[in-house]
Amino acid sequence: MQVAAIIPAAGQGTRLGGQTKKQFRLLAGKPLLVRTLERVLSAREVRWLVVAVPESHLDICHEMLQEVVPADIEWVVTVGGTTRQQSVAAGLLEVPPEAPVVTVHDAARPSLDPLWITQTADLCREFDGAIVAVPTVDTLKEVKLTAGRSQKHGGVIGRTISRDIIWQAQTPQTFRTDVLRRALQHAQEAGLEGTDESSLVEAIGGRVAIVRGSAQNIKVTSRDDWEYLEWKLSQPGGFQGMAVREAPSDG
Ligand code: CTP
Ligand code: MG
């Protein structure tokens, strides 16, 4: 199954802070975006690539992609929007009509296993989409906000939610292209702003399957995340067992 990959990389990186936006900053010697792209492009099914970036970063991203994208992949850099959802919508406009399946993966998650793209794309034969998620390890509490928070506490527990049925969504999230187009169109018309694509597909009644991801597939958000990954990548072998496809010898 041939796949178009959309990489939303148009965020501001506010929580991490610093002068350079996190996706363009060097993580253990390589831009975070490049680390993520190398993994995504290692999935054999990926045939098209769309990266959505801030307008100010179009040129620099273009240069990066010329270095890392294999010659048999068609790619384009486009301008993202003010929300992640808008960036994905902008990316989808660049996906060619012949692409049967689209996978969306955050630029800020460099530790994905390329196999997840294969697995979620395969599930699109049977479902409208499939996403990577991990079962919750912590016990979950629903908090009654009406009990009133104070400086001493964060509210009062209403009930404990069975963690057996709770999974935390990550990316990649992969969908039949026509379904994702309809879901984004509907979200726009209904004024829905989701924090992931699956919620928008669910909102139009789509059936989305789950593939087990990994707690290591973190979205780099804070300084702690950044420092953890720098340490991890400095270990012998870095992220073990995840092959990366060779870069092309020319652009
Ligand atoms: N993203 C995007 N367009 C936006 C906002 C976010 O393409 N308008 C992308 C980010 O670049 C990132 C992914 O969506 O790859 C997940 O977002 P997040 O981790 O929240 O990154 P930022 O929005 O950049 O960080 P922050 O929320 O701290 O500002
Ligand atoms: Mg954000």
What would the pLDDT profile of 3-53 be if each residue is shown by its tens digit?
999 999 999 999 999 999 999 999 999 999 999 999 999 999 999 999 999
User: What would the pLDDT profile of 107-153 be if each residue is shown by its tens digit?
Assistant: 999 999 999 999 999 999 999 999 999 999 999 999 987 666 777 88
The one-letter code for the residue type at 104 is V
DSSP characters over 83-95: SHHHHHHHHHHTS
| pLDDT value for 146 | 66
Taking a 5 Å cut-off on Cβ, the residues next to ion ligand 2 are: 11
Which residue type occupies 151?
Q
Cα(186) to centroid of ligand 2, in Å?
22
Architecture of the domain defined by 3-234: Alpha-Beta Complex (3.90)
Compute how many other C-beta atoms are within 10 angstroms of the C-beta atom of residue 36: 24
Q: Which atom of ligand 1 sits closest to the CA of residue 14? A: 29
Say which residues have a Cβ less than 8 Å from residue 20's Cβ, sequence separation at least 6: none
Q: Is the CB of 2 under 6 A from ligand 1?
A: no
Domain boundaries, the chain: 3-234
pTM of the entire structure? 0.93
